[in-house]
Amino acid sequence: MHLVHRMRTVTKDPMPLSLRHAKIHGHDVRYRMAGKGPVILLVHGLAGSSRTWLEALKILARDHTVVAPDLLGHGESAKPVGDYSLGAYASGLRDLLVGALGIESATLVGQSLGGGVAMQLAYQHPELCERLVLVASGGLGREVSWLLRALTLPGAEYVIPPLFPRFARRAGDKVVRFFHERGVRAPHIAEMWSAYASLTETPNRDAFVRTVRAVIDPGGQTVSARDRLYLAESVPTLIVWGDRDDIIPVAHAHAAHALLPSSRLEIFEGAGHFLHVEHPQRFAELLHDFIETTKPAHRDVGTLRATLLARAR
């Protein structure tokens, strides 16, 4: 395994929150890392990046070591032609944590697509998962927004470019900057715009289409962890959702909690799909409390095998 790790500032953020650089299997992977203490891995959603966690990361880094990567195909990480399945993402995060950073276990936090990746990481590599936090997570039911389903249709890759022209990004950036400079905050809209803007670049669009089609078809989400949530019974699990989520319905949170009754369920009233952006302070405090009031799981392949065999009887 060829892993190279070095610091490289590529944004104007303060140094502790600047993007760092690791080369994993020949591909550039960018990530943010800050703080000291128990490790938290923050995994962003579809068409997102580590930037989505910045406000919450600043708070969490007071008491924790926080790692927030840009998944391959997203943000500033490489966008190779390759495998964009949940399994591939999970393996990549394992290689980042264990190989590049020397981190043996962490609290895994995933939002939207990142929730599906976090669950897959906990499934493939149980020894890495101390706790599991699912934030408006994918992979817990069939339903998902019509727009994402439409983008999986044959030929969608030829329709996307006219919908995401570069001039629109430039104009939109000016509008966002205009309101930001005047103190107008609309974090949900800003996050949606960030995702839209990223798709004005061809490599981003190609990776986006591959990723969407790996987990969604015209009928909805194609990957579900509901039939194996019982494997997380020994793992402290927190499920967090906004009751106004218009991308993945809050009903998925309640269904997952019913299948995993030992989990903790928190619903943010009035929040949408990006609740960690809309309410970063509340989200960070909730996550900190969850970590402080639970003991990390200690699992290995043997434990996973025993659980599987017990359910098969």
Domain ranges of the chain: 3-144+222-312
Of 136, 98, 131, 96, the closest CA to residue 116 belongs to 136
Q: Which CATH superfamily is domain 3-144+222-312 in?
A: Alpha/Beta hydrolase fold, catalytic domain (3.40.50.1820)
Give mean pLDDT, residues 143-170: 76
To the nearest whole number, what is the mean pLDDT of the chain?
Answer: 87
- Whether 273 is a known active-site residue: answer yes
Rounded (to 5) percent helix, strand, coil in the chain:
45, 20, 35
pTM for this entry: 0.88
The distance in angstroms from the start CA to the end CA of the chain is 39
Please pick, among 74, 125, 188, 273, the residue that the annotation labels catalytic.
273
- Whether 243 is a known active-site residue: answer no
Residue 281: per-residue pLDDT: 97
- The DSSP call for residue 227 is G
Q: Residue 179 pLDDT > 50, yes or no?
A: no
Please pick, among 112, 194, 198, 263, the residue that the annotation labels catalytic.
112
Please pick, among 105, 198, 245, 252, the residue that the annotation labels catalytic.
245
- Whether 245 is a known active-site residue: answer yes
Band (pLDDT 50/70/90 cuts) for residue 198 is confident
- Residue 107, classed as helix, strand or coil, is strand
In tens, the pLDDT along 272-300 reads 999 999 999 999 999 999 999 999 998 87
